[in-house]
Amino acid sequence: MSLYSTEPVRFDAIIVGAGVGGLYAIHRLRKLGLRVRAFEAGGGVGGTWYWNRYPGCRCDVESLEYSYAFSDELQQEWHWPERYGTQPEILRYINHVADRFDLRRDIEFNTRVKEAVFDNRTDTWTIKTDKGKTATARYCIMATGNLSTPRKPNIAGLESFQGKWYHTGLWPHEGVDFTGLRVGVIGTGSSGVQSIPIIAKQAKHLYVFQRTANFSLPARNVPMPPDKERAHKADYPARRRAAYDTPFGIAGHPPPVKSALEATEEERRRAYEAKWTEGGSISFLYSYTDLLVNKESNDTASEFVRRKIRATVKDPKTAELLCPNDHPIGTKRLILDTEYYETYNRENVTLVDIRGNPIKEITPAGLRTADAEYALDAIVFATGFDAMTGAMKEIDIRAGLSIREKWEHGPRTYLGIMIAGFPNLFMITGPQSPGVKSQMILACEQHVDWIADCMQYLHAHGFSHIEAEQDAEDAWVRHNNEVADRTLYPLANSWYVGANIPGKPRVFMPYVGGVTAYKKKCDEVAANGYEGFRFGVSIEEQRFAAN
């Protein structure tokens, strides 16, 4: 159904980003007969898995789940060597997908999209790249990722530092050898917690600069048991379908049946202990029905983990510093680790509390806090990302109004897929969709399928544009907030609310009503003739038709 068969310089759809979402979009839209072109800032496919090459980087969703479902041949033939995929393994898989489905021929690598402007006369988007190239298409799909804009804090003196510094989200491809070095890691989110145990094994001394303690559970990674792989693969289609009937888009965990407060203390201890031994964050949060909605229930789980930290870390002062006390467990991304807390028992590891004694400056020789100086040869910023809105706001997206203006006080979307005032602009796992609160590849596939069906609908009805209605967007944003307010999530100063970026408006960004409810809503909207969207024909095409 190509829209521009006589104008080869134009594309039907431009896709920004060639991570897991962008790649599937290329494949799916090509199948519709559309001419697509993807632009990717990196030198290869993979998005987050291309950039985040820090030591210990690994997915916190099990590999048999964290993979594409769109091709049964693909999911049958790929062998995951471990329970949780490492970054190199996942990147190998994504490269395999790109080759197997011949996706690279439609991707321009090392090319960053700087501007995207909509022309409502022709109903087309024109993008400009950092290579000075221009391209035009009817549809523009932002597959720009939610955690793709790395941010390091503005600490005075970094430019004077005589050692080397790194950001976990922009890790050198050749790797970094910390052997014999004095290393400082700033940040104890997932990236810090995963990299700290590995860096500690190499470094002469490792200083961990912690502002806020986070909850982390043991991943219990193991080589993939062959019988588990065989059983999973035999049942793959049913498991993939079942994943949509779960809150986080991950099947295989029996749903909880009762509140934590309905169990005795001994029952709770046994339940949490079993989950702790089994490993995994979803299964832990599935211990009881109300861990994410009832503070009293949550306290029981939070305290269980604090007790584990105290039992693991030998120095009581360090243990206490590592005990999170400012948010309920699960309201920030619950981290999975391998020997994180044990690492603090090493002689060569020091935990530095920068909440009490903030970092003042980076010096040529290291780092100075309010009360001490640390000599360092290398600094690792594990300080996170301008999450969910950062990548879109870095591009000058305009349809009259700009995205930067529209989202000045926080993101506003309809279903996390489209934005009122921005026709024909689709997002894959945009803000106010469950993306980051679910199995991300499933979330990408669901969005791409929805978008592809929507494009077919437009084509079949002779429309050249679709746009979210303002009322529908307002109602969705309201619903998003209401759902979040019924949970404990807003209690945490997390990147879910933009708290990690100074000056970013505090708005709860992901949809936490669960994958099941969300997908049902998306399907209903489509079945009802794309309720909440309006359609039309461009001025140019109307004129053409009139002549």
Q: Does 65 bind ligand NAP (CB under 6 A)?
A: no
Is-contact 491 415, C-beta < 8 A?
Answer: no
Q: What tokens does 237 get?
A: 């289609």
* Coil vs helix vs strand at 48: helix
Q: How far is the CB of 377 from ligand NAP (least distance, A)?
A: 20
* Out of 67, 148, 190, 318, the residue judged to bind ligand NAP by CB under 6 A: 190
Q: Does 433 bind ligand NAP (CB under 6 A)?
A: no
The rounded distance, in Å, linking the Cα atoms of 36 and 26 is 7
Q: Does 495 bind ligand NAP (CB under 6 A)?
A: yes
Identify which of residues 415 and 440 has a Cβ nearer to ligand NAP in the complex. Answer: 440
Q: How far is the CB of 288 from ligand NAP (least distance, A)?
A: 23
Is-contact 424 123, C-beta < 8 A?
Answer: yes
Q: Does 420 bind ligand NAP (CB under 6 A)?
A: no
Q: Phi, psi (5° rounding) for residue 471?
A: -65, -40
Q: Which residues lie closer than 8 Å to 127 by C-beta, 6 or more apart?
A: 14, 16, 39, 113, 115, 116, 117, 134, 135, 136, 137, 140
* Out of 85, 324, 366, 384, the residue judged to bind ligand NAP by CB under 6 A: 384
Count Cα neighbours of 14 within 13 Å in the Cβ-side half-sphere: 27
Q: Does 191 bind ligand NAP (CB under 6 A)?
A: yes
* Out of 188, 343, 438, 487, the residue judged to bind ligand NAP by CB under 6 A: 188
Binding mask 90-119 for ligand NAP (x = CB under 6 A): ------------------------------
Identify which of residues 13 and 206 has a Cβ nearer to ligand NAP in the complex. Answer: 206
Q: What tokens does 1 get?
A: 């159904």
* Out of 125, 500, 507, 511, the residue judged to bind ligand NAP by CB under 6 A: 500
Is-contact 117 123, C-beta < 8 A?
Answer: no
Q: Does 279 bind ligand NAP (CB under 6 A)?
A: no
Binding mask 254-273 for ligand NAP (x = CB under 6 A): --------------------
Identify which of residues 24 and 66 has a Cβ nearer to ligand NAP in the complex. Answer: 66
Considering only 117-125, 186-194, 398-406, 529-537, which stretch makes contact with ligand NAP by CB under 6 A?
186-194
- With vertex at residue 28, the alpha carbon angle to CA 24 and CA 29, rounded to the nearest 5 degrees, is 115
* Out of 16, 38, 59, 376, the residue judged to bind ligand NAP by CB under 6 A: 59
Inter-CA distances, 285 with 248, 259, 267, 291, 334, Å: 11, 12, 16, 7, 9
Q: Does 423 bind ligand NAP (CB under 6 A)?
A: no
Q: Does 60 bind ligand NAP (CB under 6 A)?
A: yes
Identify which of residues 305 and 382 has a Cβ nearer to ligand NAP in the complex. Answer: 382
Inter-CA distances, 157 with 153, 210, 368, Å: 12, 19, 10
Q: What tokens does 139 get?
A: 């549809």
* Nearest Cα to Cα of residue 170 among 18, 52, 59, 40: 52
The rounded distance, in Å, linking the Cα atoms of 484 and 202 is 42
Strand-pairing partners, residue 483, are none
H/E element, 166:
strand 164-167
* Out of 10, 138, 275, 333, the residue judged to bind ligand NAP by CB under 6 A: 333
* Out of 382, 403, 507, 522, the residue judged to bind ligand NAP by CB under 6 A: 382
* H runs (alpha helix) in 65-207: 72-77, 87-100, 190-202
Is-contact 146 387, C-beta < 8 A?
Answer: yes
Q: What tokens does 34 get?
A: 């559309």
* Out of 354, 483, 537, 539, the residue judged to bind ligand NAP by CB under 6 A: 354
Q: Does 537 bind ligand NAP (CB under 6 A)?
A: no
Q: Does 87 bind ligand NAP (CB under 6 A)?
A: no
Q: How far is the CB of 219 from ligand NAP (least distance, A)?
A: 8
Identify which of residues 41 and 379 has a Cβ nearer to ligand NAP in the complex. Answer: 379
Q: What tokens does 542 get?
A: 């109307």
Q: How far is the CB of 55 from ligand NAP (least distance, A)?
A: 12
Determine the distance from the C-alpha atom of residue 319 to the mean position of all C-alpha atoms in its chain, rounded to a whole number. Answer: 29
Q: What tokens does 198 get?
A: 């590995």
Identify which of residues 431 and 532 has a Cβ nearer to ligand NAP in the complex. Answer: 431
Q: Which stretches of the chain bind ligand NAP, using CB under 6 A?
A: 58-60, 147, 153, 168, 186-192, 194, 211-212, 333, 354, 382-385, 495, 500
